[in-house]
Amino acid sequence: MRWDDLFTDLELQLQTAMTLEQEGEIRDRTRAEQSRLTLAQRLGGHIGGHVAVGTRGGRTLTGVLTNVGSGWIALLSDQRSILVPVGSLQVLRGLGRSVGQPLAGINARLGLGSALRVLSRNRSPVSLWSITPASRFDGVIDRVGADFLELGGTADGDARGPATRRDIVTVPFASIDTVDAARPPD
């Protein structure tokens, strides 16, 4: 009988050791998998969800995450579409545990310049906020280069055109905190 108890005890010890080894392996694999996640993937799992964002320029924004691109995100807040370069993100709140797929195909190639070119093409009036010093420039994006944009300034209420041309501000992408645009009607 004592042999049976010994073998039962040895079997339980082996089973416990195997369980601990499996749990350790699962933890190691989970950590390794998490180390390969990108911010775009993390945010991609929250499209359509409400998030809060703190930016390098000191802005605190809340809204619905509508898009994630290569190097930028878009929020819908108070009927404004807000484009935030990833380099301007300081803190994100409200993210659950979801994770999206890696950016692929055309989405992986749509950088900040691509998003800004859409605003330029649509002649959308925007408010561009710079990082340091925190400043706001209102106007229409006239030109988008590889790493900069040119904003044609307008006074409040003016339509952008040759007769209302005020000032051209050239802003490197690295200095952009956010770009706010009125949301087009549905």
CATH of span 39-182: 2.30.30.100
pLDDT in tens, 129-184: 999 888 999 999 999 999 999 999 866 555 555 555 568 999 999 999 999 998 65
What is the average per-residue pLDDT within 21-50? Answer: 76
pLDDT in tens, 58-67: 999 999 999 9
* Confidence class for position 38, pLDDT limits 50, 70, 90: confident
pTM for the model stands at 0.76
Predicted confidence at residue 146, as pLDDT, reads 94
CA-to-CA distance for 116 and 93, rounded, in angstroms?
25
What is the average per-residue pLDDT within 32-59? Answer: 85
Residues 6 or more apart whose CB falls under 8 angstroms from that of 57 comprise 88, 129, 130, 131, 132, 134, 177, 178
Strand 168-172 and strand 72-77: pairing?
A: unpaired
What is the total residue count of the chain?
186
pLDDT in tens, 93-105: 998 887 777 777 7
- How many CB atoms are closer than 10 A to CB 21? 10
CA-to-CA distance for 62 and 55, rounded, in angstroms?
11
